[in-house]
Amino acid sequence: MPLIVIVDDIATNRHIFSKLAASIDDGVEVRAFGDPKIALNWAEKNTPDLVITDYKMPEMNGAEFVRRFRELPHAADVPVIVITIYEERSFRLRALEAGATDFLHSPVDQHEFITRARNLLQLRKQQLLLERKLEHSERSREQSLREYGERLAQVIDTVPAMISATDLQGRFIFVNAYHRLVTDTYLIRGPESHAGGLAGNDGGLNLLLDRKVIETNAALPSYEEDIVDRTGERRVFVTTKSPLRDISNTIVAVLTTSVDITERKRAETHLYHLAHHDALTDLPNRILLRSRLKRSIARAARGDRSFALHLLDLDGFKVINDALGHSVGDRFLKLTAERLRTAIGGRNTVARLGGDEFAILQQDVTNTQDATDLAVKITEVVAAPQIVDGERLQCSASIGITLHPSDGADADQLLKNADLAMYRAKSDGGNDFRFYASEMNTRPRAAVALDNALRIAMQQEQFTLYYQPQVDVRSGETVGAEALLRWCRPDGRVVGPSEFLARAEENGLIVPVNEWVLREACREAKSWQRLHQRPLPISVNLSPI
pLDDT-based confidence at residue 55 (cuts at 50, 70, 90)? confident
**What's the pTM value of the predicted model, to 2 decimals?**
0.52
pLDDT value, residue 454: 87
- Does 129 map to a domain? no
Q: How many domains does the chain have?
A: 4
150 plus 291 within the same structural domain: no
Compute how many other C-beta atoms are within 10 angstroms of the C-beta atom of residue 48: 24
314 plus 460 within the same structural domain: no
Print the domain residue range for 329: 277-436
pLDDT value, residue 95: 78
Classify 481 as helix, strand or coil.
strand
241 plus 316 within the same structural domain: no
Is residue 190's pLDDT more than 60? no
Going by C-alpha positions, the residue among 237, 219, 254, 268 that lies closest to residue 97 is: 219
Domain boundary at 60, 86, 118, which? 118
Residues sharing a CB contact under 8 Å with residue 215, sequence separation 6 or more, in sequence order: none
- Does 132 map to a domain? no
Q: What are the backbone dihedrals phi and psi of residue 439, each rounded to the nearest 5 degrees, phi first?
A: -70, -10
Say which CATH number the domain at 51 has: 3.40.50.2300
270 plus 161 within the same structural domain: yes
pLDDT value, residue 153: 61
Tell me the pLDDT tens digit for each residue of 76-90. 889 999 888 877 777
Q: Residues of the chain with pLDDT > 70: what percent? A: 92
Tell me the pLDDT tens digit for each residue of 245-288. 988 889 999 999 999 999 999 999 899 999 999 999 999 999 99
C-alpha 229/C-alpha 226 separation (Å) is 10
For the chain, the farthest-separated pair of C-alpha atoms sits apart, in whole angstroms, at 135
- Does 28 map to a domain? yes
Tell me the pLDDT tens digit for each residue of 153-168. 677 787 888 888 888 8
Tell me the pLDDT tens digit for each residue of 16-30. 989 998 988 888 899
Tell me the pLDDT tens digit for each residue of 484-543. 999 999 988 988 888 888 888 888 888 888 888 899 889 988 888 888 777 888 888 887
pLDDT value, residue 475: 85
248 plus 324 within the same structural domain: no
28 plus 96 within the same structural domain: yes
Is residue 476's pLDDT more than 90? no
319 plus 422 within the same structural domain: yes
Domain boundary at 61, 84, 118, which? 118
Alpha carbon 380 to its chain's center: 34
470 plus 530 within the same structural domain: yes
Domain boundary at 413, 436, 459, which? 436
pLDDT value, residue 145: 61
Q: Which region among 147-161, 337-351, 384-398, 513-527 has the lowest average model confidence (pLDDT)?
A: 147-161
- Does 211 map to a domain? yes
Going by C-alpha positions, the residue among 344, 446, 445, 447 that lies closest to residue 399 is: 344
pLDDT value, residue 363: 92
